[in-house]
Amino acid sequence: MKRNCWEFKGCGREPGGKNAEGLGVCPAATYERLDGIHRGKNGGRVCWIIAGTMCGGRCRVLLPVNTGTAGNVIFTNW
């Protein structure tokens, strides 16, 4: 699988993550209907379409940006 948004951003809001208890588990990490999309776990590769995802303690929209190298995508704020 590819890196998921919580792995890339290091937010610690995945189940069992360092910030999950204090900030809550991110909806992208548990949204099973999107599991496997873009080879990610749950909503981890499509977090920008899931309501309630947060980075840095506030709602964010993360968009994938193609780096021009086959299969490589990074996340960026919009």
Range of the domain at 38: 5-77
Cα 69 to Cα 36, 44, 72, 74, distances in angstroms = 21, 20, 6, 11
Domains contained in the chain, number:
1
Radius of gyration of the chain (CA): 12
Report the relative pairing of strands 62-66 and 58-59 from DSSP bridges.
Answer: unpaired
pLDDT: which is higher, 3 or 67? 3
Mean pLDDT of the chain: 79
What pLDDT score was predicted for residue 47? Answer: 84
| pTM of the complete model | 0.67
pLDDT for 28-56, tens place per residue? 999 999 999 899 999 999 887 887 787 66
